[in-house]
């Protein structure tokens, strides 16, 4: 029963902070930039830089760490699998063995780096969803994807679908909770039995849930038509996104971070090889 409420990944955490006030476009770009940097970085100082950035990013957001780590529970298994596979299956110089498994120096290195990367990735991107309301997020996406309109890509429609889908998540979750309780009041059991039995027991939950989803979709469509909704053409916004000084500062910091992460985070020799390779190819 507690499972539904425990999912914090992708949940807004209302509080006052600089990060909360940032333009959603900035937060999207910063998140993408940060993810990119994590894949660029290969050296230990680079990871320290990424950690520094993450501490700043999460610290400024004022979302309690406890709350963020709760979201990590959902991906804990993935994390463990990543560590285990990298630790035991990377070939190289053997450090020690037990039973049939051997741990190599390379394995240890890859496992720890991969785990760090994964944790940074999840925490870094969850800051965005913790500090941005779904509506803001889709506004930001719509604005960022605007150039694609020239290619006849239905940007507005997709943004609208996304915001509707996001809007419905809490509603359907609440509905699930309600129907579950109503059926439990009729003696339904969602918690015991084998996998087939459990799947069967979900019918009394899923049928009403689907019916209610369709009913709500229908109501919403009628309400939108009643207000003359006809897609994005000529539509203006009540609260258009406008960049403030803090947003530009954030962009500047991101740029600085990205440059630094290339300089510190890449193996310079490797970078040189890459550059000469590109140059050779150009010539």
Partner 1 sequence: MTLEFDHVNCIYDAETNQPVKALSDVSLTIGGGEFIGLIGHTGSGKSTLMQHANGLLKPTGGRILADGTDIWSRDYDRRSLRARVGLVFQYPEHQLFETDVLTDVCFGPKNLGKSAKDAEALAKEALEQVGIDKSQFALSPFELSGGQKRRVAIAGVLSMQPEILILDEPTAGLDPRGRKEILSLVKRLHREKGITVVLVSHSMEDVARFADRILVMDHGALLLNESPASIFSRRETLQQIGLNIPETLLLLDELRRAGLGTDDPAMPLTPEDTAEVILSWLQ
Rounded to an integer, what distance in angstroms lies between the CA atom of residue 227 and that of residue 49?
51
Q: What's the closest the beta carbon of residue 178 comes to partner 1, in angstroms? A: 7
Radius of gyration of the chain from its Cα atoms, rounded to whole angstroms: 24
Nearer Cβ to partner 1 (58/110): 58
Q: Which long-range contacts (CB under 8 A, 24 or more apart) does 1-8 make?
A: 1/180, 1/190, 1/191, 4/173, 4/176, 4/177, 6/70, 6/73, 7/71, 7/74, 8/67, 8/68, 8/70, 8/71, 8/126
Nearer Cβ to partner 1 (211/275): 211
Nearer Cβ to partner 1 (78/217): 217
State the residues that interact with partner 1 by CB under 8 A.
Answer: 13-15, 64, 66-67, 178-179, 181-189, 203-204, 207-208, 211-212
> Coil, helix or strand for 245?
helix
Q: What's the closest the beta carbon of residue 75 comes to partner 1, in angstroms? A: 20
- Six-digit token pair at 112? 């720890």
Q: What's the closest the beta carbon of residue 262 comes to partner 1, in angstroms? A: 38
Q: What's the closest the beta carbon of residue 208 comes to partner 1, in angstroms? A: 5
CB-count burial class (<10 Å; 0-12, 13-18, 19+) for 58 = buried
> Coil, helix or strand for 104?
strand
Which of 131, 121, 128 minimizes the C-alpha distance to 50? 121
Q: What's the closest the beta carbon of residue 131 comes to partner 1, in angstroms? A: 13
């Amino acid at each position: 029963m507690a499972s539904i409420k425990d999912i914090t990944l992708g949940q807004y955490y209302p509080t006052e902070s600089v990060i909360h006030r940032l333009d959603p476009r900035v937060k999207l770009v910063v998140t993408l930039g940060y993810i990119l940097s994590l894949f660029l970085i290969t050296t230990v100082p680079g990871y320290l830089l990424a950690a520094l950035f993450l501490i700043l990013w999460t610290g400024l957001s004022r979302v309690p760490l406890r709350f963020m780590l709760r979201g990590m529970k959902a991906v804990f298994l993935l994390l463990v699998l990543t560590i285990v596979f990298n630790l035991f299956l990377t070939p190289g110089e053997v450090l020690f063995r037990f039973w049939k498994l051997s741990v190599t120096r390379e394995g240890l290195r890859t496992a720890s780096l991969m785990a760090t990367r994964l944790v940074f990735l999840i925490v870094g991107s969850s800051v965005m969803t913790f500090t941005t309301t779904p509506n803001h997020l889709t506004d930001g996406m719509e604005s960022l994807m605007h150039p694609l309109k020239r290619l006849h890509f239905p940007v507005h429609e997709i943004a609208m679908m996304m915001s509707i889908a996001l809007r419905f998540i809490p509603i359907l979750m609440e509905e699930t909770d309600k129907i579950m309780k109503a059926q439990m009041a009729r003696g339904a059991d969602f918690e015991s039995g084998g996998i087939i039995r459990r799947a069967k027991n979900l019918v009394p939950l899923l049928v009403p849930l689907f019916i209610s989803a369709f009913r709500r979709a229908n109501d919403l469509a009628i309400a939108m038509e009643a207000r003359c909704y006809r897609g994005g053409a000529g539509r203006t916004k009540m609260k258009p996104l406008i960049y403030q000084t803090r947003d530009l500062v954030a962009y500047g910091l991101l740029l600085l971070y990205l440059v630094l992460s290339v300089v510190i985070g890449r193996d310079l020799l490797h970078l040189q090889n890459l550059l000469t390779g590109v140059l050779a190819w150009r010539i």
